[in-house]
Structure 1
């Protein structure tokens, strides 16, 4: 498990005095400031965070060392991370996204479906983006109790019960069959 957890992202400059628009990925969005100082993914920069207001989809904030619109704009798209030990412990059925990325995904019969490449959320529910062996396309699996009954972090695997037809059937997909010689 990684020591840093992504807790937010800078969406761009706000105003002319160096404030930024800040998206929070925390379950209690305003708690992002409580985990300050936050660091960039490469850990080269660190910022104290002071929330100054609300905007659609996030907050306005002052970051230490940022005092101009130009400096704030250079941070657009930067993700902000907090050390895991500053974050609250999670209940048994909740997970930090960073802990799920890279886990193997198996079906209920033990067959490998792929591995978690990313976690996406477009409003309704989290989606696991699954990279499947032998395919360049990924598959989006809803991260619900029905579709993902088991997350086993110690074993680094997820047991999935996906809807029928979501994953390619190895019996009908020639790329998955070992008994066919290439033509």
Structure 2
């Protein structure tokens, strides 16, 4: 099966003519228009966007076959994906796709292995890393340069500097040397 990359989500209908709000997770939100069709999580074509404009941090979108408010309402919450092979190659070692981080080993600034990166979520206030520590409940950490001073996709790990209240470093093991 083709690897899919999550790029956008339908938020709500907008007006009565079938337009809807789309939250784009692309660096340039309008670049989502370059990928048609957009797929659902099963890899089935879900939407073909025909027009879009920016509006208060989202896009107002028109799509094929969505001609009224009821059809737009039915799309609410739909997550949209593009095929990985359709995205440009990452050329700079400091650049990566969020999907490349899933499953990476999570290390502390002291090199201790803290767990694995389970996922990356964005609930509207920025990216949150969903970290699964060894033998404990997962927790979220804001994905900022301060909290994540190093990302090394090629070597398979990220380094985090978690706040003291998380207390995950007590159960950590030293990382093996590469």
Per the normalisation by structure 2, the TM-score is: 0.80
Asked if the contact 1:16–1:69 (Cα under 8 Å) also holds between the matched residues in 2, the reply is yes
Residue 75 of structure 2 is aligned to residue 80 of structure 1: no
Q: SS state of the match for residue 31, structure 1?
A: helix
Question: 5+ residue gaps in structure 1?
Answer: 171-175, 178-183
Q: 1:141 to 1:72 in 2, by over 3 A?
A: closer
Q: Deviations over 1:67-88 (max 9, x none)?
A: 2211211111111111122222
> Aligned residue for 2:175?
none
Asked if the contact 1:130–1:141 (Cα under 8 Å) also holds between the matched residues in 2, the reply is no
Distance 1:56 1:84 in 2: 28
Asked if the contact 2:128–2:140 (Cα under 8 Å) also holds between the matched residues in 1, the reply is no
User: Alpha carbon RMSD of aligned pairs, Å?
Assistant: 2.5
The size of the alignment, in residue pairs, is 169
> Aligned residue for 2:57?
57
Q: SS state of the match for residue 13, structure 2?
A: strand
Within 5 Å, which residues of 2 pair with 1:1-183? 3-90=3-90, 91-121=92-122, 122-123=124-125, 126-144=127-145, 146-162=146-162, 164=164, 166-170=166-170, 176=171
Deviates more, 1:41-50 or 1:93-102: 41-50
Q: Deviations over 1:84-128 (max 9, x none)?
A: 2222233321221111122110224442211112324554x6432
Q: SS state of the match for residue 8, structure 1?
A: strand
Q: SS state of the match for residue 119, structure 1?
A: strand
Bigger-Rg structure (1/2): 1
Distance 2:141 2:79 in 1: 23
Q: 1:32 to 1:139 in 2, by over 3 A?
A: closer
Q: 1:74 to 1:163 in 2, by over 3 A?
A: same
Per the normalisation by structure 1, the TM-score is: 0.78
Flag as ranges the 4+ runs of structure 1 deviating above 6 A: none
Q: 1:15 to 1:130 in 2, by over 3 A?
A: same
> Aligned residue for 1:180?
none
Distance 2:142 2:157 in 1: 15
Deviates more, 1:111-120 or 1:154-163: 154-163
